[in-house]
Amino acid sequence: MASSPSPAPVRASSILRLNLDTGQVQREGEVRVLTPKALAMLSFLMERPQQVVSKETLLATVWEGTTVSPGALKTCMWELRQALGDHPRTPLFI
């Protein structure tokens, strides 16, 4: 039985480069290490550029099969914004 191909270890946009193996995100030459959930969330979002993704979809995908508190998504989003230098009032990425 043939196995399905593994996802690419790197996701990239015009501004970001995400290494799925190391958990590092690079923006304008600056490298940050993401938590596993922030890595999963950013990878999921980078697969869907310019698409609106609901909270429910993120929770079901990033925390698949796990019940989490309502603040888990907010905390993860905050971690991601900190790593990317993004701001919720003037978002560039998220």
Domain range list for the chain: 10-84
Beta bridge partners of 31: 26
Mean pLDDT over 50-68 rounds to 92
- Please state, as a whole number, how many other Cβ atoms lie within 10 Å of the Cβ of residue 78: 13
Determine whether 80 is exposed, middle or buried from the number of CB atoms within 10 Å of its CB (0-12, 13-18, 19+).
Answer: buried
Closest alpha carbon to 93 in 2, 14, 21, 9: 14
CATH of 10-84, one of 1.10.10.10, 1.10.3720.10, 3.40.50.410, 1.10.1740.10: 1.10.10.10
pLDDT for the residue numbered 1: 53
pLDDT for the residue numbered 86: 87
Look over the chain and give the mean of its residue pLDDT values, rounded to a whole number.
Answer: 88
Mean pLDDT over 8-28 rounds to 87
